[in-house]
Amino acid sequence: MKIIVDAFGGDNAPLEIIKGAMLAVEEYGIDVILVGNKEKISECIEKNNIKLKNTELVDAECEITMCDDAKSVLKEKADSSLGIAFRLLADGKGDALVSAGSTGAITVGATFLAKRIKGVKRPCIASVMPSAKNPVLLMDCGANTECRAEFLYQFGLMGSLYMKNILHVENPRVALANNGTEETKGTAVVKEAYALMKAADYNFIGNIEGRQIPFGEADVVVADGFAGNLILKTYEGVAKVLMNGIKGVFKKNFLSMLCALGVMSGINDMKKQFDYKEYGGAVLLGVKKPVVKAHGSADARTFKNAIKQAVWFLDNNLIDDIEKAFSKGNE
C-alpha cells in the first residue's frame, strides 16, 4: 500500500506533514511518496533529526498557496507539490493521496485528474464528526457551496455507502440538514432534495436541525458545501471552547485542582471523543481514487490520522460499491 503525500500542503508543512507520514509508516506498515521541494525536505529532515523509512521523495519546485486560484493545480501550477501528487495518483504510482492544502485545489485535482466516478454529478467532501452516541458523517463540507437537489440526493447515497463500508453501520440513517424537521421547511432546493431522498433506496429519516447533530440522531447528515462547512467549523469551535472552559474551572484554585484528579480520566475520555484530530481530515467521495483532505492546521498526529482514512479506504471496497450503485442508476 503506497500513499502519496503532498509535503507542502497546510499551515505546518513540511515538518508536521513529514512527521505525521513517518508515524503512519510505523503504525500502518505503508509506503509513502513525499512530494515537494527535495532540498527543503532534506533540510527539514536533517534539522529535526527525522529518519525516513519506506519513503520515496519526488521533487516539486513550488507549492499551491491558499491565495492561488483552485484551477492553478491544472495549469499554472501543474508542477506544484499538489499537482505532481495528483499526476502520480492518476498514473497509478500510488494508491491514495493525502494533502492538507487548499480545499478548492484538492477538489479540482480530484475531479479532473483523479476523475469522477461515472454518474456522479459532483464529488463532495465528507467529514467524520464525533457525537454523544456514534460518529456522524457530514457532507458536503465545502466542495460545492451551491447545490442542486440531485447533488444532495447523491451525497446521501455515497454517505450511506461510506458508513456501511468504512464504519460498518448496518443501515445508516441519512438526514438532510435544515432549519426545521418538517417536510415543508427549507429552501426550494432543500424541499426538492427531500422529495428525492424520501424515494431513495437508502434509509432517509427526514430533516435534521443543527442542535440534533451532536446527539447522534443521524449517521449521515447531508448539506450543501456552504452550510456543511459552517456546521463543521462551528462544531470544532464549540468543542474547543467547552474543553477550555472545563479546564479553566478545574484550574481555578487548589481545591478545584484536587477535585480534577478524581475526574481526570473521564475528562480525558470526553476530550478524546470530541477531538477532531482523531479523524484527521475529510474524504473526497465520488472520485475514482482515494483522496483525503487533511485539516489545514494539522499537526503530526492529525496528519497521521488523515492517512488512516486513506488506509481505511483501501482496506474496503467503497469506491467499487459507489461505482456499482451509480452504474445501476444509469441502466
pLDDT tens figures, 105-157:
999 999 999 999 999 999 999 999 989 889 999 999 999 999 999 999 999 99
Does residue 87 lie within any of the structural domains? yes
Bigger pLDDT: 242 vs 178: 178
Tell me how far CA of residue 318 lies from CA of 30, 57, 92, 244, in angstroms. Answer: 19, 29, 18, 37
Q: DSSP letter at 114?
A: I
> Using alpha carbons only, what angle is made at residue 90 by residues 319 and 157, rounded to the nearest 5 degrees?
20
Does 294 lie in the same domain as 205? no
- 114 and 201 together in one domain: no
**pLDDT (tens digit per residue) in 48-87:** 999 999 999 999 989 998 888 999 999 899 999 999 999 9
Residue 140 lies in a domain: yes
Q: How many angstroms separate the CA atoms of 55 and 2, rounded?
A: 9
Return d(Cα 59, Cα 231) in angstroms, integer: 37
Based on the fold, state whether residues 251 and 130 are members of the same structural domain.
Answer: yes
* pLDDT of the residue at 317: 84
Residue 206: other Cβ atoms inside 10 A: 16
My answer on whether 116 and 127 are in the same domain is no
Place of cell 458545501: 225
Residues 137/161, Cβ–Cβ less than 8 Å: no
Q: Are residues 95 and 126 in the same domain?
A: no
Residue 316 lies in a domain: yes
Is the domain of 48 the same as that of 139? no
For the chain, percent of residues with pLDDT exceeding 90: 79
Q: Is the pLDDT of residue 28 over 60?
A: yes
Report how far residue 195's alpha carbon sits from residue 213's, in angstroms, rounded to the nearest whole number. 21
* Contacts for 213 with CB less than 8 Å, ≥ 6 apart: 129, 131, 136, 138, 177, 221, 231, 235
Residue-level pLDDT at 258: 81
Residue 83 maps to which CATH number? 3.40.718.10
Share of the chain above pLDDT 70, in %: 98
Q: Which of 232, 250, 276 is the last residue of a domain?
A: 276
Helix (H, G, I), strand (E, B) or coil at 318: helix
Domain that holds residue 34: 1-120+286-331
pLDDT bin (cut points 50, 70, 90) of residue 253 is confident
How is 4-22 classified by DSSP, letter by letter?
A: EEETT-STTTTHHHHHHHH
Residue 281 lies in a domain: no
**310 and 3 Cβ atoms separated by less than 8 Å:** yes
Identify the DSSP state of 62: B
- Residues 161 and 258 reside in one and the same domain: yes
Element spanning 23, H or E: helix 15-28
DSSP string, 228-288: HHHHHHHHHHHHHHHHHHHHHHHTSSHHHHHHHHHHHHHHHHHHHHT-GGGT-EEEEESBS
Domain final position from 239, 256, 276: 276
Whether residues 98 and 56 fall in one domain: yes
Range list of β-strands (E), the chain: 2-6, 31-36, 55-59, 96-99, 124-129, 136-139, 173-177, 203-208, 220-222, 281-285, 291-294
Averaged pLDDT, 184-192: 96
In this structure, the number of other CB atoms found within 10 A of the CB of residue 77 comes to 22
Shared-domain flag, residues 135 and 269: yes
What pLDDT band is residue 278 in, cutting at 50, 70 and 90? confident
pTM: 0.90
Other C-beta atoms lying within 10 Å of the C-beta of residue 140: 31
Query: Which residue reads 486560484 in cell numbers?
Result: 69
92 and 187 co-located in one domain: no
329 and 317 within one domain = yes
Cβ neighbours of residue 4 closer than 8 Å, sequence gap 6 or more? 32, 33, 35, 85, 88, 89, 93, 94, 96, 97, 98
Residue 160 lies in a domain: yes
Residues 60 and 159 in one domain: no
Distance of CA 117 to the CA centre of its chain: 18
Average pLDDT (250-278) is: 77
107 in a structural domain: yes
User: Does residue 147 lie within any of the structural domains?
Assistant: yes
Number of domains within the chain: 2
- The reply to whether 42 falls in a domain is yes
pLDDT in the model for residue 329? 60
Domain end, chosen from 232, 254, 276, is at: 276
Q: Peptide bond before 140: cis, by omega within 30 degrees of 0?
A: yes
